[in-house]
Structure 1
Amino acid sequence: MTTLRYSVYLYRVLAFLKRITDNVLLIPGRTNIGVIIVDERECIVVDSGIDDDSGRKIINTLVKSGFKIRALVNTHSHADHIGGNAFMHKRLGINIYAPHAERPFIENPILEPLYLYGAYPPRELRSKLYCAKPSPTKDIDELLNEVRLGVVELPGHSLGMVGLGIGKVLFIADTLFPKEVLSKYIVPYHLNVNEAVKSIERIKELSTEYEVFIPSHGNVLNRVELLKLIDENLGMIRLIRNEIVNLLEGCTLTLNELLNRLIVRLNIKVLSLGQYMLLRSAINSYLTWLEEDNVVRIDLVNGVPHVRRCS
Structure 2
Amino acid sequence: MQGLRRIAGRVYLLPGSPNTVIVADSGRAVVVDPGIGEDRSTRILRALEELGLGLEALVLTHGHSDHLAAAAGLEAPVYAPRLCLGLVESSVLRRLAVYGGLVSEQLASMPLAEVKVDKPVEPGGSLPGGLRALALPGHTPGHMGVVDDESMVVAAGDAVLGERVLARFGVPFAADLEEWARSLEKLRELAEEGYTLVPGHGPVARGRRAVSMVDANLAAVERVRGFVLEKLREKPVTLDRLAYLATVSLGSAEPTPRQLLLNRTALASVLAWLEREGLAEPVAAGEGVAWRARIG
| TM-score, normalised with respect to structure 1 | 0.86
> Which residue of 73, 86, 93 maps to 2:59?
73
Unaligned runs of 5+ in 2: none
List per-residue Cα deviations over 1:24-44 (Å, max 9, x = no partner): 1111112111111111x2111
The answer to whether the aligner puts 1:197 opposite 2:178 as a matched pair is no
Contact 1:52/1:87 (CA < 8 Å) preserved in 2? no
Which residue of the partner structure matches residue 156 of structure 1? 138
TM-superposed CA distance for 1:272, in Å, is 3.4
- The structure with more radius of gyration: 1
- Distance, in Å, in 1 between the alignment partners of 2:20 and 2:127 is 23
Alpha-carbon spacing, 1:190–1:144, altered in 2? closer, same or farther (3 Å) = same
> Which residue of 105, 112, 134 maps to 2:115?
134
TM-superposed CA distance for 1:20, in Å, is 1.7
User: Alignment partner of 2:217: what SS?
Assistant: helix
TM-superposed CA distance for 1:133, in Å, is 3.4
Which residue of the partner structure matches residue 282 of structure 1? 266
Contact 1:51/1:128 (CA < 8 Å) preserved in 2? no
The answer to whether the aligner puts 1:207 opposite 2:194 as a matched pair is no
TM-superposed CA distance for 1:217, in Å, is 1.5
TM-superposed CA distance for 1:304, in Å, is 2.0
Alpha-carbon spacing, 1:209–1:117, altered in 2? closer, same or farther (3 Å) = closer
> Which residue of 20, 33, 42 maps to 1:47?
33
List per-residue Cα deviations over 1:118-159 (Å, max 9, x = no partner): 443223245436x32333332136x83753112210000111
Alpha-carbon spacing, 1:153–1:219, altered in 2? closer, same or farther (3 Å) = same
One-letter amino acid matched to 1:150: R
- Distance, in Å, in 1 between the alignment partners of 2:50 and 2:64 is 28
One-letter amino acid matched to 2:4: L
State the identity %. 28
TM-superposed CA distance for 1:270, in Å, is 2.8
Alpha-carbon spacing, 1:139–1:124, altered in 2? closer, same or farther (3 Å) = same
Which residue of the partner structure matches residue 26 of structure 1? 13
One-letter amino acid matched to 1:136: V
- Distance, in Å, in 2 between the alignment partners of 1:238 and 1:204 is 16
Contact 1:113/1:125 (CA < 8 Å) preserved in 2? no
List per-residue Cα deviations over 1:243-299 (Å, max 9, x = no partner): 111112242122223333333433653353322211111111111111111111012
Alignment RMSD (CA, Å): 2.2
Contact 1:83/1:128 (CA < 8 Å) preserved in 2? no
- Distance, in Å, in 2 between the alignment partners of 1:79 and 1:272 is 20
Unaligned runs of 5+ in 1: 1-13
Which residue of the partner structure matches residue 87 of structure 1? 73
Contact 2:14/2:21 (CA < 8 Å) preserved in 1? yes
Which residue of the partner structure matches residue 104 of structure 1? 86
Alpha-carbon spacing, 1:227–1:126, altered in 2? closer, same or farther (3 Å) = closer
Length, aligned pairs only: 292
Contact 2:32/2:58 (CA < 8 Å) preserved in 1? yes
**Within-5 A mapping of 1:156-195:** 156-166=138-148, 167=150, 168-195=152-179
- Distance, in Å, in 2 between the alignment partners of 1:212 and 1:65 is 21
Contact 1:51/1:132 (CA < 8 Å) preserved in 2? no
User: Alignment partner of 1:249: what SS?
Assistant: helix
Alpha-carbon spacing, 1:183–1:292, altered in 2? closer, same or farther (3 Å) = same
List per-residue Cα deviations over 1:131-190 (Å, max 9, x = no partner): 32333332136x837531122100001111111111211222111111111111111101
Alpha-carbon spacing, 1:75–1:264, altered in 2? closer, same or farther (3 Å) = closer
- Distance, in Å, in 1 between the alignment partners of 2:141 and 2:56 is 26
**Within-5 A mapping of 1:244-283:** 244-266=228-250, 268-283=252-267
TM-superposed CA distance for 1:233, in Å, is 1.1
TM-superposed CA distance for 1:212, in Å, is 1.6
Alpha-carbon spacing, 1:267–1:228, altered in 2? closer, same or farther (3 Å) = closer
Which residue of the partner structure matches residue 4 of structure 1? none
User: Alignment partner of 2:141: what SS?
Assistant: coil
- Distance, in Å, in 1 between the alignment partners of 2:235 and 2:128 is 57
